[in-house]
Amino acid sequence: MSSPRTAKGKKPGYFVDPATDKLLQMVITLAGELSVVRDRLDLVERLATEAGAFDRAMLETLQLSDADKAERDASRADFVARTLRVINQDLEEITNPEARGFEELVPILGKTD
């Protein structure tokens, strides 16, 4: 047996599109999980400091090499691009013909018959 997770009763919607209600729930759940990870990372840093692995202050003072920086910059740029992909998609369809939307491709494919 496990505890029920859904409350019996009215299920009010708040936005014009019900999908927005679900998306908000997902965003808050993700924010919660991120907060959990941040707490855990904080704990790991404290434990590492206590164990003498490194001093927490080094997180602020450590100088990265140029190669290290380049690696992190690329990783961060990729993260931003993936996160904002939903917004970039419209633009991509215009600027990158390879990524044209299905609706646009249907007539083109049709001509190949």
- C-beta of 48 vs 93, nearer to other proteins: 48
CA distances from 32 to 28, 29, 72 (A): 6, 5, 25
The span from the CA of 18 to the CA of 12, in Å, is 10
Number of residues that bind other proteins (CB under 8 A): 26
User: Residue 40 Cβ, how far from other proteins at the closest point, in Å?
Assistant: 7
Q: Residue 1 has which token pair?
A: 């047996």
Task: Give the x/- contact pattern for other proteins in 12-51, rule: CB under 8 A.
Answer: x-xx----xx--xx--xx-xx--xx--xx--x--------
CA distances from 83 to 78, 79, 86, 91 (A): 9, 6, 8, 15
User: Residue 5 Cβ, how far from other proteins at the closest point, in Å?
Assistant: 5
Interface residues with other proteins (CB under 8 A) are: 1-10, 12, 14-15, 20-21, 24-25, 28-29, 31-32, 35-36, 39-40, 43
